[in-house]
Structure 1
Amino acid sequence: MLSGLQNVSLLITQPHACSYLEQRTARNLVVDPRLRLDAARYEQLLEQGFRRSGDAVYRPHCPQCQACTPVRIPVRDFAPDRAQRRCMKRNRDLQLVRVSTINSDILALYERYLRARHEGEGMEADDHFGFERFTACSWMPVEYWQYFHDDRLVACAVVDVLPHGYSAVYTVFDPAPDHAARSLGTLAVLSQISAAQSEGRDHVWLGYWIPGCSKMEYKKRFRPQERSDGAGWSRIAE
């Protein structure tokens, strides 16, 4: 059972290779799939360090490692730093369109992104069903935030819509060299923070920050932020 959530049963996975740190073994706690979930209950689970992949809700449970640290941005106190302001300025020519379903433009961008950034890592670029399986959710509203340069889709952020915030699920972007300077991953997070601020939401959830994992380093640049140690949340300002 989980503190503050009644009737939540947990299952534990078998050990498997860690996706983030080499030569580490990982296990996850998984919320019993028979539990009826919605956005409000999922927001409570986020408070306790859980995330979702598709309809499955999980939390790392590795006895020898506690590196996965839940991170969220308290948007009322957030102000972009100099580099983030430059990022927003560089991307003023992009148009943001928010949709609730996956379309052919998103799938084509996903293919280009995987072939350029994650070739040989076990994710198949043309596995469109796989992309939908881990980004979509049957019990909560999910949006696909599309960023267009003229008529070309250059980035797409998958965003969970919560009662009091947004949760960043996954972002893909155009790997073409002429877009590299745009810092499109940073732009996606800044867009979610800006929308949350204007709509009176409390947080943007960024998933896990993992010390020693280069893929997660960008999350440190959004300040102030709050991190959970499993017992509570602490603010990191510097």
Structure 2
Amino acid sequence: MSRDITPDIRRIRLFLTDPHPCSYLPGNEATTAFVASADLNLEVNSHIEVDPQFYSQLSDMGFRRSGQYFYAPRCQACNACISARLVVKKFKPSRQQQRCSSRNQDLTVWISTQIDEQEHYPLYKRYINTRHADGDMFPPNLNQFRDFIGNLREYSRIVEIRCGDELIAAGVVDILEDGLSAIYTYYSTEPQHKKRSLGTFTILSEIMLAREMELSYLYLGYWIKDSPKMAYKSNYRPLEILKDRQWTPLV
């Protein structure tokens, strides 16, 4: 009979992928470390429960969740992917972010624990086709969506942003002991919504949620200074980065 066991963070095992083309820095090779699904002293069929405590420890070490997997970059010749988190209580929106909030006062923000595939998948599909046709998730399909987005945990929440009844943006977040971990955001790329800056507005909504929950941080994933897709995270201040196993302010 299987049992739920939280593993000892000091004894986790990692599986490394073979080097593969980097999605963010053309010409580079990437290697990814995945947390093993079994502890050294447990029988093969035992189930390890990645609870908020263990998940928080992994996040503090720079790991991220993607579907059912927990991973971190372990590239041999590059350390460009740097874990980043926003200090929520000290956050002050820039003028651009203030204008974004003002432009979207007609929108409503809902927090959900379930995903309506009939509503979310078309939005996700259009987003990937339009914004990330050169990425690893192209072409999108329903099974991929279910594995990546729909594979929610008990500590997962969906930030739904609506214009009237229409879903125009969504952000998946996980609740940690000290913050929210922003897993993924997808939004409408239709011309009528272009000026809304929905990616920015979704992050601002997640910051507000973290404040309401009295959490200290919003984990934003990996900041990559030389990647246009990932460098935007430095627009949210104050930002801390994980450097030499210590969280330090990004100057």
For residues 15-69 of structure 1, give each alpha carbon's deviation from its aligned partner in whole angstroms, at most 9, with x where no partner exists: 1111111011111111112252112211111111111111111110111000001
What code does the residue aligned with 1:186 have?
T
Corresponding residue of 2:213 = 199
Which of 82, 85, 104 in structure 2 is aligned with 1:72?
85
Deviation at 1:125, TM superposition (A): 5.3
Alpha-carbon distance in 2 for matches of 1:180, 1:197:
27
Which of 8, 11, 23 in structure 1 is aligned with 2:15?
11
User: What is the DSSP-based 3-state SS (H/G/I as helix, E as strand, rest coil) of the residue aligned with 1:6?
Assistant: helix
Corresponding residue of 1:218 = 232
Which of 30, 37, 52 in structure 2 is aligned with 1:39?
52
- In the TM superposition, what are the counterparts of 1:49-198 in structure 2 within 5 Å? 49-103=62-116, 104-119=118-133, 121=135, 123-124=137-138, 127-137=141-151, 139-198=153-212
**1:136·1:142 contact (CA, 8 Å) conserved in 2?**
no
Corresponding residue of 2:25 = 21
Alpha-carbon distance in 2 for matches of 1:8, 1:139:
20
RMSD: 1.7
For residues 79-99 of structure 1, give each alpha carbon's deviation from its aligned partner in whole angstroms, at most 9, with x where no partner exists: 111111111111111111222
Alpha-carbon distance in 1 for matches of 2:85, 2:151:
21
Percent identical among aligned pairs is 36
Deviation at 1:149, TM superposition (A): 0.4
CA 1:115 to 1:166, structure 2 compared with 1: closer, same or farther past 3 Å? same
Alpha-carbon distance in 2 for matches of 1:98, 1:125:
28
**2:108·2:162 contact (CA, 8 Å) conserved in 1?**
yes
Q: Which runs of 5+ in 1 are unaligned?
A: none
Alpha-carbon distance in 2 for matches of 1:186, 1:78:
14
Deviation at 1:123, TM superposition (A): 3.0
CA 1:220 to 1:174, structure 2 compared with 1: closer, same or farther past 3 Å? same
**TM-score normalised to the size of structure 2?**
0.87
**TM-score normalised to the size of structure 1?**
0.92
Q: Which runs of 5+ in 2 are unaligned?
A: 1-7, 40-47
